[in-house]
C-alpha cells in the first residue's frame, strides 16, 4: 500500500465538520480505541516532505475566488502544522479513510462474493440448461433415430412381406407346375399302363380264344364220335354235326379277325364263349338223347329178358321160385320194421344232384386239364397252387392271419388277381379257370378234413369257418364241397352204398370210402380216422359262420342239416364200428350247438340213442370193435348226467378274432 496522505477535501472537513463535532462531544470521545490512537502517534503518519503539506492546501470547492481560497489554505496549513490539533484531525481523517476503505473493501468483497455467487448460479443454471439442452438434443436424436428405425423396419417389413408374397406366388406357381407335371406324368403312366393292360388283356383274350377253339374242336370230335350211336337215335345226327361245324367256323373267323386287328375285343371273346356254350349245350342235348336212347334200349332188353325169364320159369314150374331174403333182425330176434337199410329217396336225389353237378364241373374244365399247350398247363398249375396253398396254411393261427387267407381265396374266386409263387394269378386267364379253381378248392377243403382234421381235431374249426364264409359268398363252392365230402365219406349223406351184382369188390370198397391201392385195402383204423376227420369238419361247418360276413342272411348249410343228418342216421340200421365212431365225433363237435338250438327235442333224441339205438349198435359190434361204442356210451351218459354238452376243444371264441 502507498503512504497515506491528506485528501484535497481535508480543509473543507476541518472548517465545516470538526467544529460541529467539538460542540457535540469532547475530542477524546471522537478518538478511536487506544490501538488506533497509538497508530496515529507513530511517526509513519507524519509527513516528512513538502509534498505532505501541499496535500492540505487544495482550494475549497466552496470558495468562489481561487486566490482567496489559496491564501486561506496556506493559512490553514500553517495552522495545522503548527498545532497538535491539526495532527489529531489528520489522524481522524486517516482513520475515517481507513474505515471507509475497509468498509469499501468489505463491500467490495461482499459484492465480489455476491457476483461470484451469481456467476456460480448463472454457471450452474447455464450448466443445467446445457444439460437440458443436451438431454433434449439427445431425446430429439433418439426420437429421430426411433422414427428412422421405425421407417426402416416398416420398409423392411414391407419388403419382407413383398418378398414373402413373391415367394408364396412362386411356390404357388411351382406347385401348380408340379401338379401339372405330376398329372401329366400320371396321365402318361396311366396311358402306358392302360396300353400295357390292353396288350396283356388282348394276349389273354387271344389265348382264351385259342383255348375256346381247342375246346370247340374237342367237343366237335366228341360230336363226331357219337356217330356210333346213330342207329339208336331217333333224331337226325347230321343236324347236330352241321351246327357244330358252323360253330367251329364261327370261332375260327373270330380268331382270324382278332389276329388281324392285333387286339381281340371283349365282344369277340363273349361271342366265342356263347358259341362254345352253344356247342356244349348241343353236345349235352346229344348226350341226353344218346342216354335216353340207351336207357330205352336197356329197358327194352330188360323187358325182353324178363319175358324170356318168365317164359322159362313157367316152363320149369312153381318149385323153381325161391324164398325172398329175410329182413334184418335187431336184438332179441325182433324184426327192425321201423329202421331202413337205404337212404330216403329225397336224400338220394339230393346226393345224386350234387354228384351230377360235380361231374358237370369236371367236364367244363376238361379242356384245361387235358390241354397239351405249355401256356395252358402253366395257367392250370398256377391256379391250382393259388387255390390249394392258402387252404393248406389254415390252422389254429391268429384270426388276423385267417382273415388274410379268406380275403385271398375270395379275391381269387371273384376274378381279382392274387399273388401266388411270386406271380400274379387270376381265373380270367382262362375261360375254364373259375370252374377249375372252384372244384380244386372244394376238393382241398375236404382233403384237409380227411388229413389235417383227422390228425388234429382242433383244426376243424378254423378250416370250417373259412369254408363256411366262402360257401356263403360262392354257393357253388359249397355244393362242390358237399359233393366231394359225400363221395369220400358217403356216411355224411348218410348213405350206405349197396353191393350190386357184377360189381368188383374193390369198386364197392371205394364206394364205402376205403382207399384201395394195388388191390390192397387200407387198415380199418386208418379208414375210421379219415371218416372221423371229415365228419368233424362237416359238424364244424354247419355251426360256424364267417364273423365278417352278412349276419342278416341265413347259414347256407346250417344246423338244420345237422339235425336232419342225425335223425336220418338214427332211422337207418347201424354199421359195426362206423356208426358209433361217427356219432361220437359228430356229437362231440356239434352237440353243444344242437343243444342250444333244439333244447328239449335234442335231449329226447339223446335219450332215444341211449335207450333204443345203443342196443342195436351193441348187437352188431364184435368184442374187438367195442372201443368206439364204449367211448360213445360214456360220452352220452356223462352228458345226460350233467345235463350239458361241453363246448368242443378248439372252438373259436371272440378272443381268437381279436388276436
pLDDT tier at 632, thresholds 50, 70, 90: very high
Give the pLDDT of residue 592: 93
Cross-strand pairs, 506: none
Arithmetic mean of pLDDT, 416-439: 87
Tell me the pLDDT tens digit for each residue of 584-629.
Answer: 999 999 999 999 999 999 999 999 999 999 999 988 888 777 888 9
Work out whether strand 520-521 and strand 516-517 pair parallel, antiparallel, or are unpaired.
antiparallel
The answer, yes or no, to whether residue 426 has pLDDT greater than 60, is yes
Cell 361231374 locates to 359
Arithmetic mean of pLDDT, 638-645: 91
Q: Read off φ and ψ for residue 393, nearest 5 degrees.
A: -80, -5
Q: Which cell numbers hold the place of 471?
A: 360257401
* Best CA proximity match to 362, nearest among 260, 273, 483: 483
| Sign of the CA dihedral running 484, 489, 490, 494 | negative
Give the pLDDT of residue 447: 93
Give the number of other CB atoms < 10 A from CB of residue 476: 16
Give the pLDDT of residue 537: 95
The answer, yes or no, to whether residue 423 has pLDDT greater than 90, is no
Are the CB atoms for 409 and 355 separated by under 8 Å?
no
Residue 49's contacts (CB-CB under 8 Å, 6 or more residues apart) are: none
Q: Which cell numbers hold the place of 618?
A: 351193441
Three-state secondary structure call for residue 340: strand
How does the average pLDDT of the chain come out, rounded? 79
**Whole-number percent of the chain with pLDDT over 90:** 24
Give the pLDDT of residue 547: 86
Give the pLDDT of residue 318: 37
Cα separation of 538 and 453, whole Å?
11
Burial class (CB in 10 A: 0-12, 13-18, 19+), 125: exposed
Helices 266-316/237-261 angle, 10° precision = 160
Tell me the pLDDT tens digit for each residue of 173-193.
Answer: 998 998 899 889 888 888 888
Give the pLDDT of residue 23: 55
The answer, yes or no, to whether residue 226 has pLDDT greater than 80, is no
Three-state secondary structure call for residue 253: helix
On the CB side of 553, how many CA atoms lie within 13 Å of its CA? 14
Q: Which cell numbers hold the place of 584?
A: 361220437
The more confident residue out of 55 and 576 is 576
User: Which alpha helices (H) appear in 326-373, and where do they start and end?
Assistant: 345-364, 366-369
**Whole-number percent of the chain with pLDDT over 70:** 78
Cell 357184377 locates to 502
Are the CB atoms for 95 and 40 separated by under 8 Å?
yes
**Cα 490 to chain center, whole Å?**
47
pTM: 0.52
The more confident residue out of 479 and 199 is 479
Cell 456467476 locates to 119
Give the pLDDT of residue 29: 43
Give the pLDDT of residue 488: 93
Three-state secondary structure call for residue 363: helix
Give the pLDDT of residue 635: 93
Arithmetic mean of pLDDT, 358-373: 87
Give the pLDDT of residue 161: 87
Cross-strand pairs, 517: 520
| 199-207 contact pairs (CB < 8 A, 24+) | 199/263, 202/262, 202/263, 202/264, 204/428, 204/429, 205/258, 205/263, 205/264, 205/265, 205/266, 205/268, 205/269, 206/255, 206/258, 206/259, 206/264, 207/375, 207/376, 207/429, 207/430
Arithmetic mean of pLDDT, 42-54: 40
Angle at 121 between CA 118 and CA 122, to 5 degrees: 85
pLDDT tier at 64, thresholds 50, 70, 90: very low
pLDDT tier at 531, thresholds 50, 70, 90: very high
The answer, yes or no, to whether residue 58 has pLDDT greater than 60, is no
The string over 367-384, giving b where at least 16 C-beta atoms fall within 10 Å of a residue's C-beta and e elsewhere, is bbeebeeeebeebbebbb
Eight-class DSSP state of 646: P
The more confident residue out of 86 and 523 is 523
Give the pLDDT of residue 319: 36
Give the pLDDT of residue 163: 87
User: Which alpha helices (H) appear in 8-65, and where do they start and end?
Assistant: 10-24, 27-30, 34-41, 50-54
For the chain, the distance separating the N- and C-terminal CA atoms, rounded to the nearest angstrom, is 129
Tell me the pLDDT tens digit for each residue of 279-331.
Answer: 878 877 777 777 777 667 767 766 776 666 556 545 543 333 333 333 333 33
* Best CA proximity match to 208, nearest among 433, 441, 363: 433
pLDDT tier at 343, thresholds 50, 70, 90: low
Give the pLDDT of residue 659: 58
Arithmetic mean of pLDDT, 7-23: 66
Arithmetic mean of pLDDT, 24-32: 45
Three-state secondary structure call for residue 517: strand
Cα separation of 575 and 629, whole Å?
11
Give the pLDDT of residue 33: 41
The answer, yes or no, to whether residue 271 has pLDDT greater than 50, is yes
Q: How many residues does the chain have?
A: 659
On the CB side of 416, how many CA atoms lie within 13 Å of its CA? 8
Give the pLDDT of residue 43: 39
Amino acid at each position: 500500500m502507498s503512504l497515506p496522505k491528506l485528501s484535497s477535501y481535508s480543509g473543507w472537513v476541518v472548517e465545516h465538520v470538526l467544529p460541529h463535532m467539538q460542540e457535540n462531544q469532547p475530542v477524546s470521545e471522537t478518538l478511536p480505541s487506544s490501538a488506533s490512537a497509538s497508530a496515529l502517534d507513530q511517526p509513519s503518519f507524519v509527513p516528512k516532505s513538502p509534498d505532505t503539506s501541499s496535500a492540505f492546501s487544495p482550494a475549497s470547492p466552496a470558495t468562489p475566488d481561487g486566490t482567496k481560497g489559496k491564501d486561506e489554505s496556506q493559512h490553514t496549513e500553517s495552522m495545522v502544522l503548527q498545532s497538535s490539533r491539526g495532527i489529531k484531525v489528520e489522524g481522524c481523517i486517516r482513520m475515517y479513510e481507513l474505515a471507509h476503505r475497509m468498509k469499501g473493501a468489505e463491500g467490495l468483497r461482499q459484492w465480489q462474493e455476491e457476483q461470484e455467487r451469481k456467476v456460480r448460479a448463472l454457471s450452474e443454471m447455464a450448466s443445467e440448461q446445457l444439460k437440458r439442452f443436451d438431454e433434449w438434443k439427445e431425446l430429439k436424436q433418439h426420437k429421430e433415430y426411433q422414427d428412422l428405425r421405425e421407417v426402416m423396419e416398416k420398409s423392411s417389413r414391407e419388403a419382407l412381406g413383398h418378398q414373402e408374397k413373391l415367394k408364396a406366388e412362386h411356390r404357388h406357381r411351382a406347385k401348380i407346375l408340379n401338379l401339372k407335371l405330376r398329372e401329366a406324368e400320371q396321365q402318361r403312366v396311366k396311358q402306358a399302363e392302360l396300353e400295357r393292360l390292353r396288350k396283356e388283356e388282348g394276349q389273354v383274350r387271344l389265348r382264351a380264344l385259342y383255348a375256346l377253339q381247342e375246346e370247340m374242336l374237342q367237343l366237335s370230335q366228341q360230336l363226331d364220335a357219337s356217330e356210333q350211336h346213330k342207329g339208336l337215335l331217333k333224331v337226325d345226327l347230321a343236324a347236330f354235326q352241321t351246327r357244330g361245324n358252323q360253330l367251329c367256323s364261327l370261332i375260327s373267323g373270330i380268331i382270324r379277325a382278332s389276329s388281324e386287328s392285333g387286339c381281340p375285343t371283349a365282344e369277340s371273346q363273349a361271342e366265342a364263349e356263347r358259341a362254345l356254350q352253344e356247342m356244349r349245350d348241343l353236345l349235352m342235348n346229344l348226350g341226353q338223347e344218346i342216354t335216353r336212347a340207351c336207357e330205352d334200349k336197356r329197358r327194352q332188353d330188360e323187358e325182353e329178358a324178363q319175358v324170356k325169364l318168365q317164359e322159362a320159369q313157367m316152363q320149369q314150374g312153381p318149385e323153381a321160385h325161391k324164398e325172398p331174403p329175410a329182413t334184418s333182425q335187431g336184438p332179441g330176434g325182433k324184426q327192425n320194421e321201423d329202421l331202413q337199410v337205404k337212404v330216403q329217396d329225397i336224400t338220394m336225389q339230393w346226393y345224386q344232384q350234387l354228384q351230377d353237378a360235380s361231374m358237370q364241373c369236371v367236364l367244363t374244365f376238361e379242356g384245361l386239364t387235358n390241354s397239351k399247350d405249355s401256356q395252358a398247363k402253366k395257367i392250370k398249375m398256377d391256379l391250382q397252387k393259388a387255390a390249394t396253398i392258402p387252404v393248406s396254411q389254415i390252422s389254429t393261427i391268429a384270426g388276423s392271419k385267417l382273415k388274410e387267407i379268406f380275403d385271398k381265396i375270395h379275391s381269387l374266386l371273384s376274378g381279382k388277381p392274387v399273388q401266388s409263387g411270386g406271380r400274379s394269378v387270376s381265373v380270367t386267364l382262362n375261360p375254364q379257370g373259375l370252374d377249375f379253381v372252384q372244384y380244386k378248392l372244394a376238393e382241398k377243403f375236404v382233403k384237409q378234413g380227411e388229413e389235417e382234421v383227422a390228425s388234429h381235431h382242433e383244426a376243424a374249426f378254423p378250416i370250417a369257418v373259412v369254408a363256411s364264409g366262402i360257401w356263403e359268398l360262392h354257393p357253388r363252392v359249397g355244393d362242390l364241397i358237399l359233393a366231394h365230402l359225400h363221395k369220400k365219406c358217403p356216411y355224411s349223406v348218410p348213405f350206405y352204398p349197396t353191393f350190386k351184382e357184377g360189381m368188383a369188390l374193390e369198386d364197392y370198397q371205394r364206394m364205402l370210402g376205403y382207399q384201395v391201392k394195388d388191390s390192397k385195402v387200407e387198415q380199418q383204423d386208418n379208414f375210421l380216422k379219415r371218416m372221423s376227420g371229415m365228419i368233424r369238419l362237416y359238424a364244424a361247418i354247419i355251426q360256424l359262420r364267417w364273423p365278417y360276413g352278412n349276419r342278416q342272411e341265413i347259414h347256407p348249410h346250417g344246423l338244420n342239416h345237422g339235425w336232419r343228418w342225425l335223425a336220418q342216421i338214427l332211422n337207418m340200421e347201424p354199421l359195426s364200428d362206423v356208426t358209433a365212431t361217427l356219432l361220437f365225433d359228430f356229437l362231440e363237435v356239434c352237440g353243444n350247438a344242437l343243444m342250444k338250438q333244439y333244447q328239449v327235442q335234442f335231449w329226447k333224441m339223446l335219450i332215444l340213442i341211449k335207450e333204443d339205438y345203443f342196443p342195436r349198435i351193441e348187437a352188431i359190434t364184435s368184442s374187438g370193435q367195442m372201443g368206439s361204442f364204449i367211448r360213445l356210451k360214456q360220452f352220452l351218459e356223462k352228458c345226460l348226467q350233467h345235463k350239458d354238452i361241453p363246448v368242443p376243444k378248439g372252438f373259436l371264441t371272440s378272443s381268437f378274432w381279436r388276436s
